[in-house]
Amino acid sequence: MGATTKIASLKVLFIVLDCIVTATIVYTLITDGLPSRKDLLMPWMTATLIDFYIIVVPIAIWVACKESSWISRCVWIILLICPGSITTCTYILLKLFKESPQDSTKEPIYSFLQNRSVRNGNGRGFSSVVVGRIVFAMLACLMLATLIYTCLTDGSPFRKELLTPWMTELLVQFYVNVAAIAVWVTYKESTWTSALIWIIFFICFGSVTTSTYMVIQLLKLSPEDPFDRVFTEAEQKQVGSPPR
């Protein structure tokens, strides 16, 4: 698949996902009112919210790496937290429309993922890679503990009464963010089989798998490496990979 086709396919994908999320939010607001109600915060709704915001973390870090100023970083991260996956899709689309085949003669996804801002390094005695390993390991443990606790106290999540309109909306937002992560994983993995296995785990276990995957990828980097390399370093592919 050529660079132009890949970029065009991603544009179509995220335009469709953006429209789906927007339509879902509008429909849920019209039919079920505002989400700021105490009765919505059932145990599994709370667990799903935690799951959602943990999976936002790697996306927010990537956005922070892409942006050159602290103001733009803070604005985008706040938007990732509040409107949710609408922001994810919109941000990805903005970056995709800035891409051209001439920018990515080897791998368009590499060009899309890479940090274009000035990089200052890790600084003396500080390794963002090591910190990232610890943070994502803690997030994986937090989500796993949340799932176990909620299962023990509230039973199985596979019950009809849990699928309230706002729970459904949250699940749509969650899986749109999973789709964004899945695009990155297909770039990172050397085979479609391994990418598909990881994506299935993302769908089934959510942010537990996402955080675990981040730890695994960070362990492949040197502590001296800049953190943003975790997004662009990929397994060796038959067509060749961009140089380090």
pLDDT band at 240 (very low <50, low <70, confident <90, very high): very low
Task: Specify the pLDDT at position 4.
Answer: 77
Distance from C-alpha of 19 to C-alpha of 139, rounded to nearest angstrom: 30
Task: Specify the pLDDT at position 232.
Answer: 82
Closest among 91, 46, 34, 104 to 65, alpha carbons compared: 91
pLDDT over 80 at 121, yes or no: no
Q: 81-90, 107-116, 125-134 — which one is most confidently predicted on average?
A: 81-90
Q: How many CB atoms lie within 10 A of CB 196?
A: 14
Closest among 52, 129, 178, 196 to 188, alpha carbons compared: 196
Distance from C-alpha of 70 to C-alpha of 68, rounded to nearest angstrom: 7
- pTM (2 d.p.): 0.85
**Residue 125 Ramachandran class (φ > 0 left, ψ -120 to 50 alpha, else beta):** left
Contact partners, residue 124, CB within 8 Å, separation at least 6:
none
Average pLDDT, the chain: 86
Task: Specify the pLDDT at position 83.
Answer: 84
Over residues 120-139, mean pLDDT? 79
pLDDT over 80 at 198, yes or no: yes
Closest among 92, 67, 74 to 177, alpha carbons compared: 92
pLDDT band at 237 (very low <50, low <70, confident <90, very high): low
Task: Specify the pLDDT at position 238.
Answer: 46
Task: Specify the pLDDT at position 239.
Answer: 44
Task: Specify the pLDDT at position 187.
Answer: 87
Higher local confidence (pLDDT), 126 or 154: 154
Q: What is the pLDDT of residues 7-57, one digit of tens each?
A: 889 999 999 999 999 999 999 999 999 888 888 889 999 999 999 999 999
Over residues 149-175, mean pLDDT? 94
Distance from C-alpha of 195 to C-alpha of 188, rounded to nearest angstrom: 8
